[in-house]
Amino acid sequence: MKLTDGFKKGQQIIGVGHTLEFILSVIRFLTTCKLTIESAQCIATYGGGGKYQVNNIHGGMYVVDLERHMCTCRKWDLCRIPCSHSMVAIAKTEKSTYDFVHSLYKRAAYDRAYESYISPMPSQEYWRKIGHRPIKPSLYHKQPGRLRTSR
């Protein structure tokens, strides 16, 4: 199996007409049942300036900024993949969710990361001996407090 096989599978899931290529794990993440169920429990209203107010049926309220790719839940900020709240706002604009995924997850970034030659390593028995003393583990310190008993 080649490294690029995941991209070929991803193209089949997204469809041939889509111009972006993504890592298969991102496609799986965006199409998971949990994420779609969470987004089905949200209602988005346009607030102006590319911002949406997303209300959850459990009482949560989030602000999604589609121009800056941000959500107040911070999941979108941290992993750069749209969260369930932002997916509802994106659906309101009738755009594709894949247009809002960071370019880090695209095929071009993957190719740039692995374009250089990665040298294979021999097993540890063939490593060069340098004559230094081996590093010893740190001393054991008894932790303060009462010992926990297993039940």
For the chain, what is the mean pLDDT?
A: 80
pLDDT value at residue 63? 95
SS3 content of the chain, % helix, strand, coil (to 5): 35, 15, 50
| Alpha helices (H) along the chain | 5-14, 24-30, 33-40, 75-79, 84-92, 107-113
Residue pLDDT, tens place only, 18-34: 445 777 777 777 767 66
pLDDT value at residue 46? 93
Q: What is the pTM of this model?
A: 0.60
Residue pLDDT, tens place only, 70-126: 999 999 999 888 888 888 899 888 888 888 888 888 888 888 888 887 788 889 888
Distance between CA atoms of 98 and 115, rounded to whole angstroms?
24
Q: Decide: residue 122, CB within 10 A, 0-12 exposed, 13-18 middle, 19+ buried.
A: exposed
Phi, psi of 113 (to 5 degrees): -65, -35
